[in-house]
Amino acid sequence: MNILNALVVEHGMMRDALDHLERVVCAQGSIEGIMGSATTLHHMLQLHAITENRLLLPAIRSVGDQGSDSVDLLFSHQHTRLDLGFSQLLAAEDVTTARAVCVDLLEALRTHFDEEEELLFPLAWQRLGEGLLHDLGRKWARSRHLIEGRVWDPRPSSQLPIEPPAEDRQLVRKQIGASDKRAGPTDAGGESLP
């Protein structure tokens, strides 16, 4: 996977989370609700920024021209500012303060994602080449416990979720017109799931 695709998908997930924090939790919620949602979003952002700080920005910096140095400084500085903003939000002691901090912070977060997609990612695409972007994507996948497109679950099998009942599986297969290899061909005549 190209790391830029992975980072854009993470932006999308965080945009949904921050929309919810802004429109639902901050607008109507209690201080506890704001802190809960903000903590989750802060954690998502930290993981994402670590990927950018440790994988993407050093790769761009290694190109070694003035433009790449400026981009590195700009975005690593924004990561620090956003982290401080979340610390400020999580330290708020009343709902009025939390809402006020939230408005500014979420606006800064949206601007950050927009600027990365308009400046940083196109620059990375131009300068780094597809091979390196895929190598970085593999490192990103390992950091998220993904291997070759499959989820790796470190829990012992006894702790894994119980599989859905066989009849549910058959119902889903019927709805999408897929046959069940284990049950033999069905009258749906569709192709097997990969």
CB of 73 to Fe ion, least distance (A): 13
Q: Which is nearer to Fe ion, 114 or 153 (CB)?
A: 114
Judged by CB under 5 A, does residue 116 bind Fe ion? yes
Q: Which is nearer to Fe ion, 72 or 116 (CB)?
A: 116
CB of 77 to Fe ion, least distance (A): 11
CB of 104 to Fe ion, least distance (A): 17
Considering only the stretches 18-26, 50-58, 100-108, 137-145, report the one whose residues sit in contact with Fe ion under the rule CB under 5 A. Answer: 50-58
Q: Which is nearer to Fe ion, 52 or 72 (CB)?
A: 52
The answer to whether 30 and 47 are in contact (CB under 8 A) is no
Nearest to 10 by CA among 42, 37, 45: 45
In the chain, helix, strand, coil percent, each to 5? 75, 5, 20
Query: For residue 179, which amino acid is it?
Result: S
What are the distances in angstroms from CA 194 to CA 75, 77, 176, 181, 186?
40, 44, 13, 10, 16
Residues that bind Fe ion (CB under 5 A): 52, 116
